Amino acid sequence: MRKVTLKSTIQYSLLILTGLSPLCSDGYGQGNPADKETSPRIVNIINFIRLLEPRDRRITEDVLYQTVVKQIELMNKYNLGGTFLLQYDALIDPRYQQLLKSLPRDSFEIGAWWEIPQPMAEKAGLKWRGRYPWDWHANIGFTTGYTPAEREKLADVYMKDFKDIFGYYPKSVASWFIDAHTLSYLYRKYQIVASANCKDQYGTDGYTLWGGYWNQAYYPSKINSYMPAQHAENQIPVPVFRMLGSDPVRQYDSGLGTNGQGVITLEPVYRHAGGDSAWVNWYFREFVKGECLEFAYVQAGQENSFTWDAMKKGLEIQIPLITSLRDQKMIRVETLAESGNWFRENYKVTPATSVTINEDIGETNLKSVWFNSRFYRINFLWENSTLRIRDIHIFNEKFPSVYETEPTTSNECRFFTLPFVDGFLWSTPQQLAGMRLKIMDDGKETALTGGVPVITGPSSGTLHIEWPLKSIEGSLLIDMTEREIKMAMKSEKAADWFLELTAADKKELPYRKISRSRIDCNFEGFYYSVKASGGIFTSSESGPGFKARPKNNKVIFKFSE
C-alpha cells in the first residue's frame, strides 16, 4: 500500500466533511434531492462475538468480553446503533446476555453469527470433531461440514435457545459462508430477513469465495448460496450482504502469484487500510461520491477475536467519520435487519448496482468500476491511460454448490461462479490477464490510450461509461444493463478496433469452442456460453484467449440465454 502523507489525509477529510453531496445521480456528488431515497448509501456496523479464541493464549474470554464492552461504549458515545451477532457459545454466556439485553432495541439488533462451536453441536446430538471447543475449519466450524439433516438440528438448537434468552427469534444470521440449505431452512421456519457473507477472496484463511456479486447484496440461488439467482422462483428471498468493505482497486490483485490473498478492507485492524486515516477517508469519499446505481453498501465493525487493542485506533477513526456523514445525511446507518427489510421491500429480484472509484488514494491515476447484476459481474481498471477489463464472471442459478447435499471433508471451503475473464487466477506477476482495447495501426496491434472516464447511471439498471481516447480522436462508449454489455467507438474516422483477452502462459481457461457468434465454456463440469449479438469472436493468434471484433462498429456481449 502506498504511503500517504498527513497533508493528503487532511485533504481527504476536508473533501468528505465539507464538499460532497449525499447523492449518487451523476457519479461526482452533484445530484438532486429526488435521488436521495432511491439511491441511499447504507452503512451497517456489524460486530460479531465469539466466546473464546483458541489460536492465541493471550486472548482470554475476559479480553474478548471487554472488547465488546468497548465497542458498545464507542457506539453509544456517538449515538450510533448497529448489529451484534452472537456465536452460540457467546449466546449462552450470562455476561453477554446481560450486556446485550441492556441495549435499546430501537437502535441495536442482536442476531446470530453462524459458526458451530462444541456446545451447539453436542446439544444437537452430534459428536464434536474439533481440535478445540471452537474450530474454524470448514468441515467442523461451519454447516458445510454437516449433513442437511444435521444442519437443521443445529439451527433448531440455536433458535430455541436464542428465543428462550431474548424472547424472539433473530432476524439476521450471518457468517463467512452459509450453505443454501441452511439459509433456506432459517427463512422457511424462522423467517429471517437478512444474511451476510465474506467479501470475495481467494484462499484467505482457507476460505475461497470467488467470482460472486461483488458488493452490495443479492438473492442467492436455492441450490447455491454464493450464486445470485436469475428468477424469483429459484431464489431464497433473503438478501445476502457482502461484508468487510473491500478496496475496489487493490483487493482483487492482492497476493497475485502467491497461494492466497492479502486483506485490504475497512476492517479497523488493518493498518494499511481500515486502520489508516487516509485510506478510511478516501474510501468513504468515494463511497458517497461514486456512481452506485440503486444503492451503495458497506459493513463496518469487527469481530471481537481481534481484541480492542488491535481495533481501537481504526474504530476511533471510522466511527466519528460515519457519525459526521450520517449527520450530514450523506449515509444511512442501519442494522442488518433494517437493510434486509428495505431490500426485500424494494427488490423482487437482485438489482443491478455499481461501485465506482473516480479518484484513487495518493498520487496514482488508477480508476475502477464494478458492475453487478443477477446475470454477471464485470470490473474495469484504468491504469497509466490504458483500460483492462480485469474480471467477468457469469451467474447461473442452475450451477449447484458442492455443499448442498453432502458435507465437506476438507478443512477449506471453495465457492465459485462461472469465469469468462479472470484477471487474478489467470495472471502471474509478469503477465496480467484481462481483456484490452486495441487498434490495428499500420499492420501492428496497439493498445488504445485515453483520458478520464466519465461514469453515469442514465436510467435504472444501466451504467454508462464514456472514455475519451488519446490514440485516436473519439471515445469508447460502454453501456451495461443487467443482461448485456455494449461497446461502440464514437469517432469521425473509421478505426480498426477490437478487444483481446489474453492470459498468462500455461493457465487453463474454460473456453471449449470459439465460434463467430458465441464462446462455449466449461467450468467444473458445467457448460455455459457467452453470445456476441453484435461483433464477431475469433481465437487469439498470440496465445490462449480470443478476440472480439466489432460489427457495425459495435461489440455486444450477451450473458443470459
User: Each residue of 315-359: pLDDT tens digit?
Assistant: 999 999 999 999 999 999 999 999 999 999 999 999 999 999 999
Please state whether beta strands 207-210 and 413-416 pair in parallel, antiparallel, or not at all (unpaired).
parallel
- Residue 329 shares a structural domain with residue 434: no
Are 96 and 207 in the same domain?
yes
Q: Which residue has the cell 461497446?
A: 487
Strand 497-502 to strand 434-441: parallel, antiparallel, or no bridges (unpaired)?
antiparallel
In a shared domain, residues 338 and 469: no
**341 plus 466 within the same structural domain:** no
Could you give the number of structural domains in the chain?
2
* pLDDT per residue as tens digits for the range 123-177: 999 999 999 999 999 999 999 999 999 999 999 999 999 999 999 999 999 999 9
Single pTM value for the model: 0.92
Mean pLDDT to the nearest integer, 495-517: 93
**pLDDT of amino acid 2:** 34
Query: Do residues 182 and 199 lie in contact, with contact meaning Cβ atoms separated by under 8 Å?
Result: no
Q: Is residue 381 domain-resident?
A: no
Same domain, residue pair 332 and 432? no
Mean pLDDT for 280-296 is: 96
Same domain, 329 and 452: no
Same domain assignment for residues 318 and 450? no
Residues 204 and 301 in one domain: yes
The pLDDT score that the predictor gives to residue 443 is: 79
Indicate the average pLDDT of the chain. Answer: 91
CATH classification at residue 159: 3.20.20.510
Give per-residue burial for 227-251: e unless 16+ CB within 10 Å, then b: bbbbeeeebbebbbbbbbbbbbbbb
pLDDT in tens, 189-228: 999 999 999 999 998 888 999 999 999 999 999 999 999 9
Task: Give percent of the chain with pLDDT exceeding 70.
Answer: 93
Domain assignment present for residue 411? The answer is: no
Residues 6+ apart with CB under 8 A from 448: 386, 387, 437, 438, 439, 469, 471, 472, 476, 497
**What is the domain extent for residue 453?**
426-558
Residue 20, C-beta contacts closer than 8 angstroms, at least 6 positions apart: 29, 285, 288, 289, 330
The answer on 478 and 331 residing in a single domain is no
Residue 401 predicted with pLDDT over 90 = yes
343 and 433 assigned to the same domain: no
Strands 41-49, 332-334: pairing is parallel
% of the chain beyond a pLDDT of 90: 82
Q: Quick one: pLDDT band at residue 28, thresholds 50, 70, 90?
A: very low
Q: Residue 339: inside a domain, yes or no?
A: yes
Could you tell me if residue 375 is inside a domain?
no
Beta bridge partners of 356: 369
pLDDT computed for residue 24 by the predictor: 41
Residue 331 lies in a domain: yes
Which residue, of 332, 357, 382, is where some domain finishes? 357
From 319, 335, 357, give the residue that closes a domain. Answer: 357
**Predicted local confidence at residue 37, as pLDDT:** 52
Handedness of CA 242, 486, 358, 295 (dihedral sign): negative
Q: Please name the residue that has the C-alpha cell 447523492.
A: 23
Q: Angle between the 61-77 and 94-101 helix axes, to the nearest 10 degrees?
A: 0
In a domain, 212, yes or no: yes
Residues 353 and 432 in one domain: no
Per-residue confidence at 561, pLDDT binned at 50, 70, 90? Answer: low
DSSP calls for 66-99? HHHHHHHHHHHHTT--EEEEE-HHHHT-HHHHHH
Residue 409 lies in a domain: no
Task: Verify that 89 and 235 share a domain, yes or no.
Answer: yes
Is residue 385 assigned to a domain? no
Mean pLDDT for the stretch of residues 302-319:
97
Residue that finishes a domain, picked among 357, 378, 410: 357
Nearest residue to 242 (alpha-carbon basis) of 266, 269, 262, 260: 266
- 26 — pLDDT class (breaks 50, 70, 90): very low
- List the grid coordinates of 548: 472480439
